[in-house]
Structure 1
Amino acid sequence: MTQPPYARIAGELRRRIQSGELGPGDRVPSTRAITQRWGVAMATATKALTTLRQEGLVRAVPGVGTVVADTAPTTRSDASPAKDPAVRTRIVHAAIALADAEGTAGLTMRRVAAELGMPTMSLYRHVANKEQLIGLMVDAAFAGEPLPTRPPEGWRARLELSAAIQRRLYRAHPWLAPALNLSRPLLAPHGMRHIEWALAALDGLGLDADTRMHAAVTLFGYVRGQAIDAEPEARATRSSGITGEQWMAAQQDRMAALLAQGRLPHFASAAGEAALSSTSLYEFGLACLLDGIAARITTVRPPVTAN
């Protein structure tokens, strides 16, 4: 029985994939390329690729096209593992370096590949897309400064240490805080260890599980929120050449004119005495947050005695 055109095209591409001629991550002919090569209609070309997709041999990559799936079988004896951990680590570290320097807006698979001297399509053998890459970057960033194996004494000191480490990470990687989203959290194991650390610190203090979880996530969200402006500030500094401090200094005359109108008397009075900075705002907010947790504690943990 004569095969329909879409089946013959799918069969030819299937053979090339299974023989290893097309390896995981390699791009397969587009629908337009299929119509031109085999002289078939667009609907036939689409059906051929749909057949391969249903068989799990290919997958669509936004902005790239249809590529051979990582799980596609191959008989090529020299084929490399589709997800070599060492190669993936190099990709992630290169992406972090780019994001540290320029933010994530211009971070693309093509740009990362260029930094590594690799074909763009080869990256897709190790990382599915930009979304997965950013998730791996987030986890690697948190892994770069792990929590200590021996925590300090006292729940408050433990939470302060976790917050300090997070803040240092956000300062070192301005893109990190915006990459996180508490509404749709990334499953980043090294980042989640900060939640685990906080839960352990609050255990045995008379707080129920719901309160402890809310406290742990609120602390995580507070530190992230304090750092959320880091990337826009870095981007503004790069584009304008003016630092945040320089920008604030340039607004002093306008601020003085506004306050001189007398419509904001309390603001004007307090502004004359207050000394606001990113550090003072962070420390004040953190102290208030921890004071609020302390007010809910009903059990005093007995001190640890040496043997």
Structure 2
Amino acid sequence: MRRVAERLGAGAMSLYRHVADKDELIGAMVEQVTAEYSYPDATGLGWRECMHILARQDWASFLAHPWLLTANATVTPPFGTASLAAMEWALSALEELHLMPDEAARAIMTMNNYVQGSARVALGDRQADAGDDPGRAWQHRLHDLDLGDFPHLSRLIAHRHPAGERDWFTSGLDVILDGVEARQNPHPVQRG
């Protein structure tokens, strides 16, 4: 809180007139960014398109505000109205799959974990652009090693991806969404 106050050119005690503690401050910061990156109207969009939008919006917010990765891991959601609206939007988008509520929540959590992990990888590689495929960087680093004792890894490193291949982030997301789709309940449970 002292460092925040210093950056604002104020006294630490003056911050406490606005927020009770560090967790409340972080919650307010997360809420502000969540509102800035809110999801669009989903009318006319299919569930899969919505999940791609969700992932890209969250990805953009993490790259623009890397501190969110830590904040989301240390402060217990929900944060506020914008965060609750984001979760409602995601759950509504999955409704057409007729998943049980806990399965829909698990699907969203899995996607969130994927997006956050991918953002950590992208932000952690200081020499690469955030859109660069970390697998290609990995191939480059291991290319000159003797991998004779590791035939599967050797084959992976030797495999060249064709130019213009789909981006790594979308490709990984589609693996998750294929799994979510496989859980679809063709016979919706009557809710009452």
TM-score, structure 2 normalization: 0.76
* Number of the residue aligned with 1:290: 177
* Number of the residue aligned with 1:267: 153
**Contact 2:48 / 2:177 at 8 angstroms: preserved in 1?**
yes
The sequence identity of aligned pairs, in percent, is 36
Residue by residue over 1:183-226, the C-alpha shift from the partner in whole angstroms, topping out at 9 and shown as x without a partner, is: x6322232333321121112143322222222222222221222
Q: Distance in 1 between matches of 2:3 and 2:173?
A: 38
Instruction: Specify whether residues 186 and 156 from structure 1 end up closer, same or farther in structure 2 by C-alpha distance, changes over 3 A only.
Output: same
| 1:53-64 correspondence runs (5 A) | none
* Number of the residue aligned with 2:94: 202
| 1:1-307 correspondence runs (5 A) | 109-181=1-73, 185-189=76-80, 190-229=82-121, 233=124, 237=126, 243-244=127-128, 255-258=142-145, 260=146, 262-275=148-161, 280-299=167-186
Instruction: Specify whether residues 299 and 153 from structure 1 end up closer, same or farther in structure 2 by C-alpha distance, changes over 3 A only.
Output: farther
Q: Distance in 2 between matches of 1:257 and 1:160?
A: 36
Match for 1:210: what amino acid? Answer: D
Displacement after TM superposition at 1:160 (Å): 1.0
Q: Distance in 1 between matches of 2:93 and 2:113?
A: 17
**Contact 1:151 / 1:158 at 8 angstroms: preserved in 2?**
no
Q: Distance in 2 between matches of 1:217 and 1:125?
A: 35
Residue by residue over 1:7-35, the C-alpha shift from the partner in whole angstroms, topping out at 9 and shown as x without a partner, is: xxxxxxxxxxxxxxxxxxxxxxxxxxxxx
**Contact 1:174 / 1:230 at 8 angstroms: preserved in 2?**
no
Residue by residue over 1:88-126, the C-alpha shift from the partner in whole angstroms, topping out at 9 and shown as x without a partner, is: xxxxxxxxxxxxxxxxxxxxx222222222222111111
Instruction: Specify whether residues 285 and 263 from structure 1 end up closer, same or farther in structure 2 by C-alpha distance, changes over 3 A only.
Output: same
**Contact 1:195 / 1:217 at 8 angstroms: preserved in 2?**
no
Instruction: Specify whether residues 220 and 261 from structure 1 end up closer, same or farther in structure 2 by C-alpha distance, changes over 3 A only.
Output: closer
Q: Distance in 2 between matches of 1:167 and 1:300?
A: 33
TM-score, structure 1 normalization: 0.50
Secondary structure at the counterpart of residue 18 of structure 2: coil
Displacement after TM superposition at 1:256 (Å): 4.1
Q: Distance in 2 between matches of 1:265 and 1:282?
A: 26
Displacement after TM superposition at 1:169 (Å): 0.4
Match for 2:53: what amino acid? Answer: L
Q: Distance in 2 between matches of 1:223 and 1:192?
A: 19
- What's the RMSD between the two structures over aligned residues? 3.0
Match for 1:136: what amino acid? Answer: A
Q: Distance in 2 between matches of 1:121 and 1:146?
A: 32
Displacement after TM superposition at 1:156 (Å): 0.7
Residue by residue over 1:140-180, the C-alpha shift from the partner in whole angstroms, topping out at 9 and shown as x without a partner, is: 11111211134442111111111110011011111112221
* Number of the residue aligned with 2:132: none
Displacement after TM superposition at 1:289 (Å): 0.8
Secondary structure at the counterpart of residue 98 of structure 2: coil
Bigger Rg, structure 1 or 2: 1
Secondary structure at the counterpart of residue 203 of structure 1: helix
Q: Distance in 2 between matches of 1:209 and 1:197?
A: 14
